[in-house]
Structure 1
Amino acid sequence: MKRVAFMFPGQGSQDIGMGKSFYDAYPEIKEMFEEVDKVLNFSLSDIMFNGPKETLTETEIAQPALLLNSIAVHTMLLKSEVQPVMAVGHSLGEYSALVAAGSISLEEAVQLVATRGRLMEEAYPSGLGAMAAVLGLSEEKVEETLASIETEEIVDLANINCPGQIVISGTKAGIEQASTALKENGAKRVLSLNVSGPFHSRLMKAANEKFAESLETVSLTDATIPIYANVTASPVTEHEEIKDLLIKQLYSPVRFEKSIQNMLDKGVDAFVEVGNGKVLSGLVKKIDRTVPTFAIQDPDSMEEFITWYKGD
């Protein structure tokens, strides 16, 4: 049997209409969406299918929407007897990976990530934090440049996505200063990201205490497959360690590139992006061009992958 790794997308991959093709095609997915609407006390599915985009983009809506969509796709893959040997999620996607690995129920997860989204929004005043993608510099060079800036402002590494793509996060003024310095030190481009806060930076520590309290109310169990944690890029299955890493994840960089490299070292025949968009598949191609990638967003792309998976 082929060894496949599942990848679950994070915030930014949301789109109006996501999940609709699965909802329309499979009665059990329709039931799942209706159940989540009840749990959240509002129609998440209506916002996912019809927008408006501004509402779907709000952190506390986008996070449960992406998670629900990924788990819908994952459910149909399992039904087709596709079994991953390991999984990874990008930021919010880590929660989808944990639901997929049986560590947390879908009902508890959607409520938890809605709370996480709200706390992330509240952690730092709106409009005062920022994030930017740095293209064309190594992690070492970015770190070196940030360390050389003499400033009271905060700027941290937020995502180490693939060679030559690193995201920084911090105060708006800090990101502006860092952007200038990074370009002077050879960055091809520094692009502002359309986000509502300085995620995965020290400025998120304010959300920590309340989020840790929310996590205490959730029943986490050991994962059935190794999940490569954002914080360490190493496999984890033990529920207490998972809980500890989820708290650190809010203010620590997402080590996606290293996670993929570590998974490749374990032997993977393909990476499968489970959910909306193709962002993670694109990153994997920049990390290793030779490994096959699939992005499953509708029943057609799922069938195409299953044909490959079950072929000789």
Structure 2
Amino acid sequence: MSRIAFLFPGQGAQYVGMGRDIYEHSAAAREVFDRAAAVLPFDLRELCFNGPEEKLKQTMYAQPAILTVSIALWRALQEAGWRKSPAALAGHSLGEYSALVVAGSLEPADAAAVVHQRGRLMQEAVPLGQGGMVAVLGLDAARVREICAAASAAGTVEAVNLNCPGQVVIAGTNAGLERAMVLAREAGARRCMPLAVSAPFHSSLMRPAGEKLAGVLAGVRVKQPAIPVVSNVTARYYPQEADPRDLLVRQVYSPVRWEESIAYLREQGVRIFVEIGPGRVLCGLVKKICPEAVAYNVEDRAGMEKILALEGEV
């Protein structure tokens, strides 16, 4: 018997057409979409299925869209016969909200409304065009942190997504990022790739967004997870004695410790990882962190059928 963890993607996984297949063939998925659409001030189904792509990329729209598709896939998987509770759950940034929904901490519609506000607050925290994010490839996290410290004289810049060995994302002001890229290349970075995002997410510049998000979360019922969920902030399970809202607030302006999170799940005995949601980015990261692990993705009915066939083995 192998222990299984379900993973949920974050912003950047979105694409036009995501979720259409499962919406058309699953009543449970349609219910998730319809309930989320009822609390959002835009046409969620139209945006997911038909775009436009430029709008779907915008933070305040991308976040509820990705979360809804992920939860719809999970509910459709259950509807199709999946009964086994995963050993653990984890999500990358926004994906942590999807994990908390599956764990019973948040209602799907509440989560969709919260992450819509989360996206808006994150975008508003730093004026458009004044900050961003860059993926640094080929250097370890410790070296990237040193580079950020040295580059901070030019402007705020921090290591914010510790994704896997040799892949660290930095975020900050434009001046800080420019200086950090120069230093990273001098240090032997294989590549420095600016990301198509509109703000320096998960950096300390997002603290105002986190503080305002606390007010949004105060109006939503958040229960303790019924299934262990790994926090991006601590790379450990949510503690049973603490209010989950505290970690969600800190998550906005803290690094995503993904490499440590997957390594922690491996230590807990997880051998099979299933990414539920659009894309398969997390599957690729898992294989780089734990080459011996088995990783699957579920983003349509074909992916669901593979996982359903797997249930007897886990």
Is TM more than 0.5 here? yes
Flag the 1:280–1:309 CA change in 2: closer, same or farther, 3 A: same
**One-letter amino acid of the structure 1 residue matched with residue 23 of structure 2:** Y
Flag the 1:13–1:51 CA change in 2: closer, same or farther, 3 A: same
SS at 1:277 equivalent:
coil
Q: Which residue of 2 aligns with 1:91?
A: 93
Matches within 5 A, 1:193-232: 193-232=195-234
The RMSD of aligned alpha carbons is: 1.3
Is 209-218 or 26-35 further displaced after alignment? Answer: 26-35
SS at 2:162 equivalent:
strand
Distance 1:182 1:300 in 2: 41
Report how far residue 294 of structure 1 moved: 0.3
Distance 1:158 1:47 in 2: 29
Matches within 5 A, 1:97-246: 97-149=99-151, 151-238=153-240, 240-246=242-248
SS at 1:236 equivalent:
coil
CA offsets 1:243-271 (integer angstroms, 9 cap, x no match): 11111111110000000000000111300
Report how far residue 309 of structure 1 moved: 2.3
**One-letter amino acid of the structure 2 residue matched with residue 123 of structure 1:** A
**One-letter amino acid of the structure 1 residue matched with residue 12 of structure 2:** G
Distance 1:239 1:50 in 2: 43
Flag the 1:179–1:309 CA change in 2: closer, same or farther, 3 A: same
**One-letter amino acid of the structure 1 residue matched with residue 48 of structure 2:** M
Q: Which residue of 2 aligns with 1:55?
A: 55
What is the TM-score of this pair, normalised by structure 2?
0.96
Report how far residue 132 of structure 1 moved: 0.2
SS at 2:270 equivalent:
coil
Q: How many residues align?
A: 312
SS at 2:89 equivalent:
strand
**One-letter amino acid of the structure 2 residue matched with residue 112 of structure 1:** V
Distance 1:4 1:222 in 2: 21
Pairing 1:6–2:6 present: yes
Q: Which residue of 2 aligns with 1:306?
A: 308
Q: Which residue of 2 aligns with 1:67?
A: 67
Whether the aligned pair in 1 keeps the contact of 2:104 and 2:223 (CA below 8 Å) is yes
Q: Which runs of 4+ in 1 moved over 4 A?
A: none
Report how far residue 34 of structure 1 moved: 1.8
Pairing 1:24–2:17 present: no
Distance 1:307 1:92 in 2: 29
Distance 2:152 2:63 in 1: 35
Distance 1:149 1:167 in 2: 15
**What runs of 5+ residues in structure 2 fail to find an aligned partner?**
none
Flag the 1:34–1:164 CA change in 2: closer, same or farther, 3 A: same
SS at 2:210 equivalent:
helix
Flag the 1:308–1:149 CA change in 2: closer, same or farther, 3 A: same
Is 129-138 or 299-308 further displaced after alignment? Answer: 299-308
Distance 2:35 2:41 in 1: 10
SS at 1:125 equivalent:
coil
Distance 1:49 1:239 in 2: 40
Whether the aligned pair in 1 keeps the contact of 2:151 and 2:157 (CA below 8 Å) is no
Percent identity between matched residues is 46
Whether the aligned pair in 2 keeps the contact of 1:224 and 1:237 (CA below 8 Å) is no
Distance 1:239 1:22 in 2: 37
CA offsets 1:46-95 (integer angstroms, 9 cap, x no match): 10000000111110110000000010111123332132110110000000
Distance 1:311 1:146 in 2: 45
Whether the aligned pair in 2 keeps the contact of 1:70 and 1:96 (CA below 8 Å) is yes
**One-letter amino acid of the structure 1 residue matched with residue 277 of structure 2:** G
**One-letter amino acid of the structure 2 residue matched with residue 181 of structure 1:** L
Flag the 1:287–1:28 CA change in 2: closer, same or farther, 3 A: same
Distance 2:123 2:6 in 1: 28
Distance 2:300 2:170 in 1: 32
SS at 2:172 equivalent:
strand
SS at 1:187 equivalent:
coil
